[in-house]
Every structure is written in structure tokens, then in C-alpha cells.
Amino acid sequence: MEKPFKIALENGLTAPAIQVQSPEDLSTALRELDLHSPRPILVVVGGASKVSEAELNRLRLLFVKVLAPLAEELGASVVDGGTDVGVMQMMGQARAEIAATFPLIGVTPAAKVALPNRIPSSKVTALEPHHTHFLLVPGSNWGDESPWLARVASALASGAPSVTVLVNGGENAWKDVSENLKADRPLLVIAGSGRLADTLAAALHGEATDERAKELVASGRVQAIDLTESFDSLTRSLNEMFSAQE
């Protein structure tokens, strides 16, 4: 396993990063990044594709008014995919907007993101510049990071409460959700945010036509709340999910 190094981000800040090759390296890697456990963990997965401007504004407020403040209040760490797109971008921007201090950890395939001393390529994606730490994991395709995302969350939680939140989401989000449910992590689906989130919300109401959705909902670990609910209701639902594990 390599030693941690600094990544220069687009906003002029730097963040520590480490590259891991094996799950056995994970606990050492987290210590090298000075990330301490146990602590509550919020895993954020999904996307923000095919969303109208009005819905996108509501989603941004979800991060600014609910997810980032809750993480700060709980003393939690937040784990997501780390790139400067979709829900990961909104998570980073929300953390900056409320001047939060919680660790925001991006877990992403090393081959898919822009890194120092690497020749720029149109095939790589920028890292979100408000994240505080990055774990670079094996893989040359999006979705290869999904099992690692769940492993990192479990290692950091180390028995403390942890919850996954799904906002929107495409094909790769199926893997993220499945891996986190396999780790026995409860899932809160933001119904009305589109795509996978709405598919799983429909399955909870017995309206599923997708066998994968039925299987995930059958875990008994999936709940849904509508995006149009008050932010107080959304915060309360998440707090209850964390409290139920204490």
C-alpha cells in the first residue's frame, strides 16, 4: 500500500489521498489518513441526471438544509463517490456552504479520476473540491468502487450507527445500494428525486415491475420519504434511523 499524498483541488485547497489495492489494507489506510472510528456514518449515493431545474433546486436544498447539518450535528463522517458531479458535488458544496467540519470522504476508482502527475485525459473526471479525504481504489470502470464504498463506511462506523441515503440514481447506484444493504446498512430513499429512487419507492408500495427492486425492498432495510416533505420531516426520519441502531 502506498503512503498518503496530497491532491491539489480546483478551489486551491488540498486534500489527503491514499491508494489501496486490497480490502486488508483498508484499516491501515484509514489510520494513515487520520480518520478515526467508531463514528456515525452517512453514505450518500445516487445521481442527479434527468432532473428538472425546479427539482434540482429542491435537491440542493436537501443537502444544505438536511444532510450536511445532520452530519455536523451527529459528529458523523460522510462517504460518497468523491467526484464533481451529481449528489457528490451537492454534498461537497453543501458542506462548504454551511461551513461544516465533518470529514467528507470520496471513494473512487483511481483510473477514472484526474490525479497529480498524470497526463490529462478526457476520460477522467474531476474530484469534488470540498471533500476532505479521498480513497483511490482498484478499478477501471464506474461501479468498481461500489463494494469499497460499503467497506469504507463499515470500517469507519466500526459498530456505530450508519445510514445510506439514495437520491435519484442510475445503473451504478443499483450496485451502491445493493452493497450497502449487504453490509446491513439501512437505506433511506428520497422518493420523487427520480430514476432508481422512484423505482424503489414504488416497490415499497407494491408497485414494482423490476425484480431487482423487489429483491432489494425484501431486505426489510429500505424506507422512503418524499422529497416534497418538509425538511424537518426529512431530518426527523434520518435521526430516527440513526437512533434505532443505538
> What's the whole-number mean pLDDT along residues 82-103?
96
What pLDDT is recorded for position 118? Answer: 64
Is 24 among the domain residues? yes
pLDDT at position 49: 76
Cβ neighbors of 9 (< 8 A, separation 6 or more) are 15, 127, 129, 131
pLDDT in tens, 20-64: 999 999 999 999 999 988 999 999 999 877 777 878 888 999 999
* pLDDT score of 162 more than 80: yes
What lies within 8 Å, CB to CB, of 179 at 6+ separation is 146, 147, 149, 150
Residue with cell 445493493: 178
**Helix %, strand %, coil % of the chain (to 5):** 40, 20, 40
Region of 92 please: left (phi>0), alpha (psi -120 to 50) or beta.
alpha
Cα–Cα distance measured from residue 10 to residue 47, given in angstroms and rounded to the nearest whole number? 21
Task: Confirm whether 6 is domain-assigned.
Answer: no
Please give the helix or strand (H or E) that residue 100 lies within, else none: none
What residues make up the domain containing 213? 15-243
Q: Which residue in 166, 165, 162, 139 sits closest to 152, CA to CA?
A: 162
- Count up the domains in the chain and report the number: 1
CA 48 from centroid of its chain's CA atoms: 13
CATH assignment at residue 174: 3.40.50.450
What's the confidence (pLDDT) of residue 155? 96
Residue 3 lies in a domain: no
pLDDT of 81 > 80? The answer is: yes
- Residue 138: which of 95, 159, 108 has the closest Cα? 108
Mean pLDDT is lowest, of 94-103, 106-115, 145-154, 156-165, for 106-115
Please give the model's pTM, rounded to 2 decimal places: 0.95
CA distance 194 to 215: 19
Residue 7 domain-assigned (yes or no): no
